[in-house]
Chain A
Amino acid sequence: MEKKIGIYICECGPNIAEKIDIDKVINAVSSLEDVKVTKRYKLLCSMDGKKFLEEEIKKHNLTHLVIAACSPKQHEQTFMGVCENAGINPYLFQLANIREQCAWVTEDKGEATEKSIRLIKAAVRRVRHHSPLEKKEIECSPDVLVIGGGIAGIHISLQLASSNRKIYLVEKTSSLGGLITNFEKIFPGMQLTSDVIKQKIYAVQKNENIEVFTESEVEEILGFFGNFEVTVRRKIDDEIVKFNVGAVVVATGATLFDPKETSQYGYGKIDDVLTSIEFEKMNLSGKISLKNGEKPRSVAIIHCVGREKKGYCSKICCMYSFKFIRYLKEKIPDVKVSNFYSDLCIPGKSYQKFYEQTKGKNIDFVRSVDIKVTKKDNKLNIEYKNERGDKKNLLVDMVILSPAIEPREDASKLAEIIGISQDEKDFFAEEHEKLGPVSTSKEGVYIVGCAQGPKDISETLVQSEAAAGKILSSLIPGRKIEPEVKVSHISESFCIGCKTCISVCSYGAITFDEKRRISVVNEVICRGCGNCVAACPSGAATIKHFTFNQLYQELREAIQ
C-alpha cells in the first residue's frame, strides 16, 4: 500500500519557534520519501491543534503521522488519540522531541535547527517501518484461589466472597485459623484471639461463595492472569480437583526460626527454655508452669533469637515479648521478668504506649549482647555482656526465646508451582518495594501476610484488603482484559532453542515448545520489558514497535 506521511511541526508558542528555524526544517524534510505534506502550527496539543490534525489526516488521506513537538511523556498519548479519532492506527505515528531535546537545550539556533532536522528525518524513516498494532481482549474469570487458611487467607476470602466472587480456599492442615489460633490475646489491643478468629472461621464455613479444601495442596497452576487452571490434591483421599480462577492469593504465612540452630540458648537441651510459640500454647492452656510443675518466680525473655543468622529484624518480637510480660503478670503477679534485647523496635503510633504500659515493678529491660543460657544448680543461668562490655549473669527459672520469623520450608516449592520469585531471604518477593507491595512479578498473583515478610496481624489484614482492592478493580465480571500490545515475539526460524530468554524473563511469559525445540512467547503474559531481546544470542527475539529494523532505521538517519 502506498504510504502517505504527514509531518507537523509544533511551534509551541515561542518555545520552539524562537529557538529553531522551522521554515528551514520544513525545507529539509518535506521532500523525504513518502512525505505528502509538511506544515507548521502554533500549538498542536491545543483543542484547535488537535482538530486541525484530524482534518489534515482526513483531507490528505494520510497513512502515517510524524509530529515534531515536545517530549513523548507530555503528549504522545494525546497524538495517538488524534490518530485513533482520525482513523489511522495509533502505532503508525512517531513523535520527534524537538523541544526538550533541541529548543530547550541547544543554545545555538543553527545547531538546534540541524539537530531537529535529524530527529525528524529519523522519525520519518522509523515510521515508514512501523506496523499497525491491534489491542486484544480476553475473557476472564472473576473467581479467586486463596492458598493458606490463616487469618490473612480467611480475611481476604470473606471480603471477596462478599463481593460475590467464588473463592477456593486451600489449606494444608486439617483446620482453618493458622498460627494465631495459638495466641490467647492479640497486641496491642489485647482482645481475645478466639473472639476474632472463631467468628471468621464460622463465617467462612457458612459462606456459599467459599469452597474450603482442608488437608489439601495446590499441585499445579497453569495459565495467566484472568485464566489460571488450578489443580488441587486432597491428601485425605488423594483426590484431584481442578478449577479455573482469574487470580491467585498466596497467604501461606511464615514459621519460626528453630533455636536449635544456635546452641547458645540451650534450647532442646535444657528444660524450661521455651520458644515463643511454645509459651503461647502453654499460656493458652491456662497454666504457666515449669517442667517440675511449679510456677516460675523469675523469667527471662530473650529477644532477637536468630536475627543475626537471618539477617533481618522480624518486627513483631519486641511487641509479643511485651505481651508475654502481661500474660505472666496476669497469671503470676509477683513474677520477675527480665528482657534481654539489643534494640527496642516498636514503630508506629500505638506500640510505644503498649511498651510504656507494660513497664513496671519487677520488670527489667537489659540491653545486652553475647547471651548464653546454661544450667546452674536448679536454675537457668543467663550469661551476657552489658552495654559497657562487662560480663554479667542472672539466674532465672524459665527462659522464653523470641525467635525470628522465617519463610515456610515449602515456600520454594510453591514459588515454583506458581511461577513467582522469592527475595534473598526466601520470602515471596513483591513486584515493587513501594508501589507493588502485594503484587508479584506474575500478573494476577498476590502475596499477603507473613508469606511476604514479617508483620503483625493488623498489617496482615491490611495487606489482605489491599490484595482484594487489586483483584476487585482488575477482574470485573463481564469485563475483558486488555494485555500489553508492545510485546515480545520470537521468530520460529531464528530461534536456536537455547532457552536463554526463558531464564531472563521475569514474568514467566516464555515457554519451551519441546516438539519444535523453540521458545514461544505467551503474548498475554508478556509485558514487553525487552529482557529476552537483549539476551537472545541468535536475534530471534524482538519487541513489537521496537524491532531491530525500526531502531536501526531511526538511528541510521539520526547519526548519518
Chain B
Amino acid sequence: MKEKRSHTDVLIIGAGIAGIEASLLLSEAGRKVHLVEKTSYTGGTVIKFEEVFSNMECSTCMVAPRQQELLQDKNINLLLLSEVEEVRGSAGDFTVKIHKKARYVDLDNCIGCNACFEPCPVSLKNEFEEGLSERKAIYIPCAGTLPNVPMIDTEHCLHFKGKNCKACQEACAFEAIDFDQKDEHLELKVGSIIVATGFNTFDPKQISDYGYGIFDDVYTAFEFERLYASNGPTGGDIVLKNGNTPKTVAIIHCVGRDKKGYCSAVCCLYSLKFNHYLKSKIPEIEISEFYRDLCIPGKSHQNFYEKMIKEIGTNMIHANDIKVTKHGEKMVVEYNNGDSKKSSLPVDMVILSPAIEPREDASKLAKILDIPLDEYGFFKEEDQDGFSVVTSKPGVFIIGGAQGPKNIQDSVSQAYAAVGKILSEQ
C-alpha cells in the first residue's frame, strides 16, 4: 500500500501583521513557508497607521523590522501579487494552485530609487491613500512600503494599452523594468494553511444620514489615518478640503454597527487615538466624540482613555439617532442625547468610525478552501466561541481580522496560536 505523504510546508494567505508574524515564527521552527499576498507589498492594514493605541508607538517603526526580516528570511517564499486559485487534498497533503501576476519590475534588480515615477505620463487616484492623492501607473502605494519596489498597473499603463511608451524603462538605470514578464501559475504542496486575509471597513455611503460622500469634510477613519500620516497625501497636515485647518471636529462611533449586528471592538480605541492626532497637530482644536457604549476592555485601555479625554478635554457625548447635515460653511451633527433630548453641534470636520467587516472576497476564498463563513461573512471558527483559530477543516486555520474584528495584539496572539497548532499537530 502506498504511504500517505505528509508535507510540513505551510501556506499563509495574507502578508499583514498576522501573516507576517505567523511566517516568521514558523520559519524560526525551521518550517518552509509560502506567503501569498494579493497586493504588491507587505504589512497589510497596520502600515496605514501613523501610530497605534494604546502606547502610541509609531506603527511603521514597529512593523518595518519585521517586514525586513521577512524579506531576508530564506525559509519564507514571499509571493506578492498572488492569489490562491485552487486547493485540493487534506491536512498534511494539500495541493495549492497559485496565480502570481507579473509585477513588470524585477525585485532583485530594482533598488527602489523611484526614478521611474516622475517620467510616467499617467496619473490616477491612489487607492492606498483612500483616493486623497495621485499615483502613477508605475508606483509604490506610499513611501516606505516593503519591498521598496514598484509595480506596473497594466490597466492604466500606456505601454500595456498598446501605446509606444517606455518612459519608466528609459529612466531606470538598473534594467529593472521588464515589460515581458509573464504571469506565473504555481503548484505547491503544503501540509497546513493559515488564512490571514484581514478585513475591510463598512462603507458609510450605505447610511446616508452621515453625509459621507455628500459633504466634503466627512472622513472615514482610514481617510483620517492617512491625513495624519507623515508619509501620507498631506505629509501629515490635518486640513479641510478647502485647505483650512479645522477648529472643531466631531468623531462619530459605531457607524454601521446596527447594520452589521456586532461591536467591532477597536473603534472606540482608535477614535480615542484620533484625539491625540488632532491635538498634537492643532493644539486649540475642540473635539466631540459621539458614542453609544464605550468599549475599552482590558488592562491598559482605561488609562489610555483617561489620558486622551482628560488631558485633551474632549467632549464625550452619549448619543443616538445621529444625522450629519450642512448649514452654511459648517456641518451640523444632530443627535439625541442620553435623556432623549434633541441637540445639535456645528463642526468643521466629521470623522466616522465605521464597523469592521469581512473582505469582499472572503466568500470566494472560503469556497476555494472549503471552509464555512459565519453569519456575518467572517471565516468561521470551529467551536464558535468567537476567538479560536481552528476551522471545521483539519489543517486550515484562521487568524486576525479575517476571523473577526480584533486589535493587533489579539491578531498576533492568534498568529502564534495557529503556529502552535501546526507545530504540535504535525
How far is it, in angstroms, between the C-alpha of A466 and the C-alpha of B399 when the chains are bound?
12
Binding stretch for chain B, among A7-15, A57-65, A125-133, A177-185:
A7-15
Shortest B122–chain A CB gap in Å is: 23
B298 touches A435 (CB 8 A): no
Chain B positions within 8 Å of A334 at CB level? none
B193 close to A (CB within 8 Å): no
Shortest B121–chain A CB gap in Å is: 21
A343 touches B416 (CB 8 A): no
Give B277-293 interface residues, CB cut-off 8 Å to A: 293
A349 touches B374 (CB 8 A): yes
A12 touches B111 (CB 8 A): yes
B383 close to A (CB within 8 Å): yes
B63 to chain A: closest residue by CB: A435
B312 close to A (CB within 8 Å): no
B308 close to A (CB within 8 Å): no
B293 touches A343 (CB 8 A): yes
A347 to chain B: closest residue by CB: B265
B294 close to A (CB within 8 Å): yes
How far is it, in angstroms, between the C-alpha of A195 and the C-alpha of B262 when the chains are bound?
28
A83 close to B (CB within 8 Å): no
Contacts A388-B338, A469-B419 given: A454-B298 contact, CB under 8 Å? yes
A345 touches B293 (CB 8 A): yes
B387 touches A458 (CB 8 A): yes
Binding stretch for chain A, among B130-138, B202-210, B226-234, B401-409:
B401-409
Contacts A313-B301, A347-B265, A387-B318 given: A162-B424 contact, CB under 8 Å? yes
Contacts A312-B300, A453-B298 given: A350-B409 contact, CB under 8 Å? no
Q: Which of A311, A455, A465 contacts B303 (CB 8 A)?
A: A311
A543 close to B (CB within 8 Å): no
B386 touches A348 (CB 8 A): yes
Chain B positions within 8 Å of A163 at CB level? 423-424
B262 touches A160 (CB 8 A): no
B302 touches A313 (CB 8 A): yes
Contacts A348-B386, A433-B300, A466-B417 given: A474-B28 contact, CB under 8 Å? yes
0/1 string, B154-173, CB within 8 A of A gives 1:
00000000000000000001
B389 touches A349 (CB 8 A): no
Shortest A437–chain B CB gap in Å is: 5
Give A468-492 interface residues, CB cut-off 8 Å to B: 468-470, 472-474, 476, 479
Chain B positions within 8 Å of A462 at CB level? 387-389, 410, 413-414, 417
B375 to chain A: closest residue by CB: A353
Q: Which of A12, A73, A423, A474 contacts B68 (CB 8 A)?
A: A73
B66 close to A (CB within 8 Å): yes
Interface residues on B, range: 35 or more
A553 close to B (CB within 8 Å): no
Chain A positions within 8 Å of B301 at CB level? 312-313
A344 close to B (CB within 8 Å): yes
B81 close to A (CB within 8 Å): no
B299 touches A434 (CB 8 A): no
Shortest A192–chain B CB gap in Å is: 13
B384 touches A189 (CB 8 A): yes
Contacts A350-B404, A462-B417, A466-B414 given: A315-B387 contact, CB under 8 Å? no
A463 close to B (CB within 8 Å): yes
Contacts A433-B54, A470-B25 given: A348-B384 contact, CB under 8 Å? no
B261 touches A352 (CB 8 A): yes
B420 touches A467 (CB 8 A): yes
A438 touches B413 (CB 8 A): yes
B residues apposed to A, CB below 8 Å? 17, 21, 25-26, 28-30, 52, 54-55, 57, 62, 66, 68, 72, 108-109, 111, 113, 115, 173-174, 261-266, 293-303, 306, 318, 338-339, 374, 376, 378, 383-389, 404-406, 408-410, 412-421, 423-425
What are 14 sample pairs from A and B whose C-beta atoms fall under 8 A apart?
Answer: A12-B113, A43-B174, A189-B385, A311-B303, A343-B295, A347-B405, A425-B299, A434-B17, A435-B62, A438-B413, A438-B416, A458-B388, A466-B412, A466-B415
Q: Which 5 A-B pairs have the closest CB atoms?
A: A469-B420, A473-B29, A466-B416, A347-B265, A350-B386
